[in-house]
């Protein structure tokens, strides 16, 4: 069971874990990104050489299963690192699953991606929770996927910690709120 790949699917976005010990092997074969002849996204290369804890994982988007709920994100390149979800640190698929599980139907999943490096990063993806949950069965069926996650993905008892970068985080949350209301054309009130 250890050899089967870990994955989590939500809103048609496929997430996988690149653990540091296996990162180099995965990077070389890079089948996970659908391009066996290419070395893989260059921003992942540096991760092999960073100092990381042995059990620390990197969660990336491996692919997008096209559906109305992820419209606008369908050309998202594979290999984008998930820095945070709803302002909470994501260091495993279980972290991500726990955050998604705890987010109410009338809420949104706000993913901050690390694109290239910390300086140029900052892509934000926003998914409507209710729409994603309602579309789950349809997405799984359309792509003949039996379960939205692998056996080793579990809902944790505690949410992962919030990312603490005070002013920057507060500013980014304000921006997210503006984008969400603009996206919905929400001018009720």
* 80-85 vs 7-10, strand pairing mode: unpaired
In this predicted structure, what is the pLDDT of residue 169? 46
State how far the alpha carbon of 63 is from the alpha carbons of 7, 17, 28, 32, 164, in Å. Answer: 11, 13, 18, 9, 29
Please report which helix (H) or strand (E) contains residue 19, including its range: strand 13-19
Q: Which two tokens stand for residue 6?
A: 């870990």
pLDDT band at 32 (very low <50, low <70, confident <90, very high): very low
Report d(CA 62, CA 34) in Å as an integer: 9
Please report which helix (H) or strand (E) contains residue 81, including its range: strand 80-85
Q: Which two tokens stand for residue 177?
A: 């709120």
pLDDT band at 183 (very low <50, low <70, confident <90, very high): very low
Q: What is the largest CA-CA distance in the chain?
A: 54
Are residues 65 and 142 in contact, defined by beta-carbon separation less than 8 angstroms?
yes
- Supply φ then ψ for residue 73, to 5 degrees: -110, 5
Which of 7-16, 99-108, 175-184 has the lowest average pLDDT?
175-184
Q: What is the DSSP letter of 105?
A: T
Handedness of CA 116, 118, 124, 125 (dihedral sign): positive
pTM of the model: 0.70
Q: Which two tokens stand for residue 27?
A: 């990077």
Q: 54-87 burial, b for 16+ CB within 10 Å, e for fewer? A: eeebbbbbbbbbebebbeebeebebbbbbbbbbb
Percent of the chain with pLDDT over 90: 46
Are residues 73 and 133 in contact, defined by beta-carbon separation less than 8 angstroms?
no
Residue whose token pair is 């496929």: 14
């Amino acid at each position: 069971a250890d050899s089967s790949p870990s994955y989590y699917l939500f809103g048609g976005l496929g997430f996988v874990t690149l653990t540091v010990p296996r990162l180099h092997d995965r990077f070389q074969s890079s089948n996970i990104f659908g391009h066996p002849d290419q070395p893989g996204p260059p921003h992942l290369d540096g991760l092999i050489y960073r100092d990381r804890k042995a059990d620390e994982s990197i969660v990336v988007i491996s692919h997008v299963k096209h559906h109305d709920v992820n419209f606008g994100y369908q050309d998202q390149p594979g290999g984008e690192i998930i820095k945070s979800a709803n302002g909470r640190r994501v260091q495993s698929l279980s972290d991500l699953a726990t955050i998604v599980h705890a987010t109410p139907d009338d809420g949104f999943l706000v993913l901050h991606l690390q694109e290239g490096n910390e300086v140029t990063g900052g892509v934000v993806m926003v998914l409507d929770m209710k729409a994603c949950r309602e579309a789950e069965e349809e997405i799984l069926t359309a792509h003949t996927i039996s379960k939205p996650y692998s056996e080793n993905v579990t809902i944790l008892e505690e949410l992962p910690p919030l990312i603490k970068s005070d002013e920057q985080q507060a500013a980014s949350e304000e921006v997210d709120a503006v984008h969400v209301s603009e996206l919905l054309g929400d001018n009720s009130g």
